[in-house]
Amino acid sequence: MADVVGLCDICGRPGSMCTCQLCGRFVCERCYEHRHSLCIECAHQKRRSDTPSHPIE
Ligand SMILES: [Zn+2]
Ligand SMILES: [Zn+2]
């Protein structure tokens, strides 16, 4: 995916944007979980909805 420069939908800072695959928001790399291709908010919700048998962190 090509880099898109804009304002982050979460923190409001300019930078290279990524698109959340769940909510479609443009978020900066700091607010993006590349492992899940989700913004940190969706990744957080996903983490809560999941019930991992062993914690990652
Ligand atoms: Zn951000
Ligand atoms: Zn999202």
3-state secondary structure of 46: helix
42 Cα–ligand 2 center, Å:
4
What is the domain partition of the chain in residue ranges?
A: 4-49
Question: What is the per-residue pLDDT for 44?
Answer: 94
Report percent pLDDT > 90 for the chain. Answer: 70
**Total Cβ atoms within 10 A of residue 57:** 3
pTM for the whole thing? 0.73
Closest ligand, as measured to the CA of 29: 1
Closest ligand, as measured to the CA of 39: 2
17 Cα–ligand 1 center, Å:
8
What mean pLDDT do residues 18-44 have? 96
Nearest CA-CA partner of 29 in 11, 51, 48: 11
Which residues are near ligand 2, the ion (C-beta closer than 5 Å)?
A: 20, 22-23, 39, 42
